[in-house]
Amino acid sequence: MNRNSEHRFILVTRKTRLQELIERFNTWPQARFYLEHNQVDAQDYLDEHDLYNARIRAAESLLRPLGPLQILDRGFLPSYQFGKNDIVIVVGQDGLVANTLKYLDGQPVIGVNPDPARFDGKLLPFQIGDLESALAKTLDGEGERKQVTFAEATTNLGQRMLAVNDLFIGPKSHISARYRLDWSDRSELQSSSGIIVSTGFGSTGWFQSVLAGAIGVAGVDSHPLAEGFAWDSQRLQFAVREPFPSNTTGVDLVFGEVSNDQPLTLESLMPEHGVIFSDGIEADAIAFNSGCIARIGIASTRGLLVS
């Protein structure tokens, strides 16, 4: 491949378990002592770290001759300014791909599995040996690309949050959330442990655990959404977790499809402890307390995953 000045290449990485342990215990010897004291094989951490960094070096050596290259740790994703012509290469686990997509607006993402023996990599269709051909096809505008529909939460307070997998709206601890739910021209006061709104991309994740519990309680064999739904579907699916029936709260509007023509609206009735977060990242949450009204729908932003 020749050098390509039109594009900038962004190589997204994450800390290994070994690096995270060193941050926690200050030095590797202290971290190793902790592991071995708890009968954990420290060599597994070393092997994973060494292999991951070898894959990063291999990707870097391939990318540097092609054009401007930025190596970006996942911790800097929220503040990084991506350009419209960037090509993003993610080396890591599935969660890193999902986390990266949320901060993009249609730039192609190439997911590389650094360790197929360790990671299933459903969102990582390439290994390091495939990267050169995947880049060539991407630069030539060839190869298959899958669009990913995002969910979006906007509030009457001017806040906005995107979700690649799912949104959670509810309490930030093990208490009941109280809110008004409006959907499909119907309204209901509810008390529950929160609402999950899933995209097609996330419909085989957290959403499936909610669905599996409902299937088990109902005593049925399956459900039409047991295999999820398409990543590019112009729809979302909401499910209320553990709705509680009472004299003032109902359980009729607990599962349904969300679209731009049929959005989901939630008004908080909680003085405190209400949150909205996406993709399991609780640290990056919007407060969902009394006076906050959230509208949930399909985002105009789309993801693009090279496959």
Residues 15, 94, single domain; the answer is yes
Residue 249: CB partners within 8 Å, gap ≥ 6? 178, 188, 189, 190, 191, 243
Q: Which of 102, 124, 143 is the last residue of a domain?
A: 143
Q: What is the pLDDT of residue 141?
A: 85
Residues 43, 111, single domain; the answer is yes
Cα 242–Cα 96–Cα 227 angle in degrees, nearest 5: 50
CB 242 within 8 A of CB 220: no
Q: At what angle do helices 28-37 and 42-63 cross, to 10 degrees?
A: 140
Domain count, the chain: 2
CB 126 within 8 A of CB 134: yes
Q: What is the pLDDT of residue 3?
A: 61
Tell me the Ramachandran region of residue 26: left when phi exceeds 0, alpha when psi lies from -120 to 50, beta otherwise: left
Q: At what angle do helices 42-63 and 131-139 cross, to 10 degrees?
A: 40
Q: Which of 168, 91, 151 is nearest to 123 (CA)?
A: 91
Q: Are strands 108-112 and 166-171 parallel, antiparallel or unpaired?
A: unpaired
Write out the residue range of the structural domain in which residue 244 sits.
150-299
Residues 159, 295, single domain; the answer is yes
Of how many residues is the chain composed?
Answer: 307
Whether residue 47 lies inside any domain: the answer is yes
Q: What is the pLDDT of residue 89?
A: 98
DSSP structure string for 63-79: HGGGS-EEEEEGGGGGG
Enter the tokens of residue 165. Answer: 């997998």
Q: What is the pLDDT of residue 1?
A: 60
Q: Which of 95, 117, 143 is the last residue of a domain?
A: 143
Q: Which of 143, 158, 192 is the last residue of a domain?
A: 143
Residues 106, 212, single domain; the answer is no
Instruction: Name the pTM for this structure.
Output: 0.86
CB 121 within 8 A of CB 111: yes
Q: What is the pLDDT of residue 4?
A: 63
Enter the tokens of residue 290. Answer: 């009394």
Residues 79, 109, single domain; the answer is yes
Residues 61, 111, single domain; the answer is yes
Residues 183, 215, single domain; the answer is yes
Q: What is the pLDDT of residue 143?
A: 81
Whether residue 29 lies inside any domain: the answer is yes
Whether residue 3 lies inside any domain: the answer is no
Residues 111, 183, single domain; the answer is no
Residues 163, 258, single domain; the answer is yes
Q: What is the pLDDT along the chain (307 residues), one digit of tens a residue?
A: 666 668 999 999 999 999 999 999 999 999 999 999 999 999 999 999 999 999 999 999 999 999 999 999 999 998 999 999 999 999 999 889 999 998 998 999 999 999 999 998 888 999 999 999 999 999 988 888 999 999 999 999 999 999 999 999 999 988 999 999 999 999 999 999 999 999 999 999 899 999 999 899 989 988 999 999 999 999 999 999 999 999 999 999 999 999 989 999 999 999 999 999 999 888 889 999 999 999 999 999 999 999 8
Task: Assign residue 15 the CATH number of its domain.
Answer: 3.40.50
